[in-house]
Structure 1
Amino acid sequence: MPRDPQRGAGLRRDFALLEALASPEAAAEGGLGVLRLAELTGREKSQVSRAMRALAEEGVVERHPGTLRYQLGWRLFALVSRAAQTRLERQAEPVMHRLAAEVEETTHLCVLRENGVLTVFSVSPGHSFRLAGSEGHSTHSACTSVGRVLLTELSPDELHIRFGTDEPLCAEHPIRPHSIAELWVELNRVREQGYAVVDEEYEPGLVGVSAPIRDFRGRAVAALNIAAPKSRLGDRLHDAGRRTRRAAGEISLLLGHRPQR
């Protein structure tokens, strides 16, 4: 099919508008108005106005009803999120296969969703054990090694906002932690060693380890997890934790993360 130069030019102009809305100025100002977008892109105000209305109709941008400034929209973020998760799974799978073979246990790729942990992908070394219904299943983040890894970037105030203070944490899992203060102590331990360990804290007879997967910004976007019966993994938990930390670091490098020296 022959290339349509007019359509290509229109796409480039629309991308220029989206790049302007992704700029530090737009973030600081809570969006940009049509006049400022026209100045930044060198286009006529009427052209920018028409383009932004069309993008808003598709959910690619949103216009604040009070300030009339435009921001990047929900549909764009949804597309980026889906693409990022697909890339994460693609990069993680071969590393997860190697880790599963090394430890001889099922490995899980997990993310944080509100107050819960969601398993999105699993790789088994071949034996029969798996967390029952693990993929697509959400569990309380404070009670799991995955959750603790992904909560390490939060401050005590942010933990209080996320979990509240009225009810004990993990009420259905009585071992620990019972409070935000106890969770904070545990999170500091996780930060120091680079992986988290749970020993029958989520479920009797079950142990697990997790390590963070970081993106190019250094943010923990997912966690690599191993969970197994204590009778099989209990005496080598920290060895499994170190191996999981190393594997998670490999995936992080593939996502563009560069650790500070």
Structure 2
Amino acid sequence: MTATTQRRNSAGLRRDLDLLEVLGSPEAESNNGLGVVRIADLTGRDKGQVSRTLATLAEAGLVARDPSTQSYRLGYQLYALAARTLESRLVREAAPFLRRIVIATHETAHLCVLRGDNVLTLTSELSEYAFRGVGWEGVSAAAWRTSSGRVLISDRSEEDLRRWYDLHGRDRPVTGPLSPVMQEAGATLPQEGTPLFTEFSGLLGEIQRIRTRGFATVDEEFELGVVGASAPVYDFRGSIAAAINVSAPKSRVGSHLNEMGVLIARVSDELSRHLGASR
């Protein structure tokens, strides 16, 4: 490849990025997309050229076109790439913070994210206790029944919470598959306990307690005989990106569950600042 060809390809990539930047602008966000003519005006490019480039980007899933309005917006593939990148960084950066919690509590610490109505464990830092000596990566559970799930939705407005609860606030079984490590250790999916609340008003009250205390707790709701505490991890935008969770036998930590919650909240806050959150 000649230097001239490289410059031409670089210029083409720059023009593609210009279109993506326009579609990520406040104007595009507020209007749920922009039409070809407006995009051409904003980028100072020929309308036909913009249309052809957008069609190519749409084939790759980087932009999407609304069939009724013909407007374009950022596509699912771009968001998927961004999410994977953020989660990869979260796993990498969270490791030493999770280890600090394990050292302080002697319990396994988990980093969790939200997947629709479920909480998914991205990574676990294992403790020396056999009871929690296996990782729960890849296992998901109904968010509203877990401390981590409640934390992950605790920055939403009451209207958003209502919509989320109407869709997801119901009993769902814990789902697998179990990791090979868990299978080899003879682990099984948990036997669920009794939820603290079954109405939306109960969720609102719990969310308010989380906002006041900075952490959430559960007492044998997710699993019989098990208690847990979780705190939010914020990203550079100030949005909740993940939750740090510790779950353990009630017989071992039940008497100092709130103390554990305070510790997790403090470490989560330090991780948030490490990720660029201005909290």
TM-score (norm 1): 0.91
Q: 1:90 aligns with which of 89, 92, 114?
A: 92
46-55 vs 78-87, which moves further: 46-55
1:133–1:89 CA distance, 2 compared to 1 (3 A): closer
Is this contact kept in 1: 2:65–2:72, CA < 8 A? Answer: yes
Matched, 1:184 2:204: yes
Deviations 1:130-149 (A, max 9, x none): 28772211112222111121
1:249–1:63 CA distance, 2 compared to 1 (3 A): same
* SS at 1:43 equivalent: coil
Q: 2:76 aligns with which of 74, 78, 81?
A: 74
Is this contact kept in 2: 1:149–1:196, CA < 8 A? Answer: yes
Is this contact kept in 2: 1:110–1:224, CA < 8 A? Answer: yes
AA partner of residue 72 (structure 2)? Y
1:42–1:170 CA distance, 2 compared to 1 (3 A): closer
Who is 1:248 aligned against? 268
1:170–1:61 CA distance, 2 compared to 1 (3 A): closer
AA partner of residue 71 (structure 1)? R
* SS at 1:164 equivalent: helix
Unaligned 5+ runs, structure 1:
none
* SS at 2:94 equivalent: helix
* SS at 2:224 equivalent: coil
Q: 1:142 aligns with which of 141, 144, 149?
A: 144
Deviations 1:202-235 (A, max 9, x none): 2221111000011112111210000001111112
1:128–1:112 CA distance, 2 compared to 1 (3 A): same
Q: Distance in 1 between matches of 2:272 and 2:168?
A: 37
* SS at 1:233 equivalent: helix
103-112 vs 201-210, which moves further: 201-210
Who is 1:215 aligned against? 235
TM-aligned CA deviation for residue 37 of structure 1:
1.3
Is this contact kept in 2: 1:16–1:41, CA < 8 A? Answer: yes
Who is 1:34 aligned against? 36
Who is 1:164 aligned against? 166
Is this contact kept in 1: 2:94–2:271, CA < 8 A? Answer: yes
Is this contact kept in 2: 1:170–1:177, CA < 8 A? Answer: no
Matched, 1:195 2:215: yes
Is this contact kept in 1: 2:144–2:169, CA < 8 A? Answer: no
* SS at 2:131 equivalent: coil
Moved over 4 A (4+): 165-172
Deviations 1:24-68 (A, max 9, x none): 011112211121111111112222122111111111111111211
1:193–1:170 CA distance, 2 compared to 1 (3 A): farther
TM-aligned CA deviation for residue 188 of structure 1:
1.0
AA partner of residue 83 (structure 1)? T
Q: 1:237 aligns with which of 257, 263, 275?
A: 257
21-30 vs 180-189, which moves further: 180-189
Is this contact kept in 1: 2:148–2:229, CA < 8 A? Answer: yes
Percent identity for Structure 1 against Structure 2:
44
1:96–1:202 CA distance, 2 compared to 1 (3 A): same
1:167–1:154 CA distance, 2 compared to 1 (3 A): closer
Note the 1:37-116 alignment, pairs <5 A: 37-116=39-118
146-155 vs 73-82, which moves further: 146-155
Is this contact kept in 1: 2:148–2:245, CA < 8 A? Answer: yes
> What is the CA RMSD across the aligned residues, in angstroms?
2.3
Deviations 1:159-205 (A, max 9, x none): 34323399876896325112211221122111100001112222221
TM-aligned CA deviation for residue 107 of structure 1:
0.1
Is this contact kept in 1: 2:231–2:264, CA < 8 A? Answer: yes
1:131–1:70 CA distance, 2 compared to 1 (3 A): farther
Is this contact kept in 2: 1:34–1:69, CA < 8 A? Answer: yes
AA partner of residue 245 (structure 1)? A
Who is 1:118 aligned against? 120
1:82–1:168 CA distance, 2 compared to 1 (3 A): closer
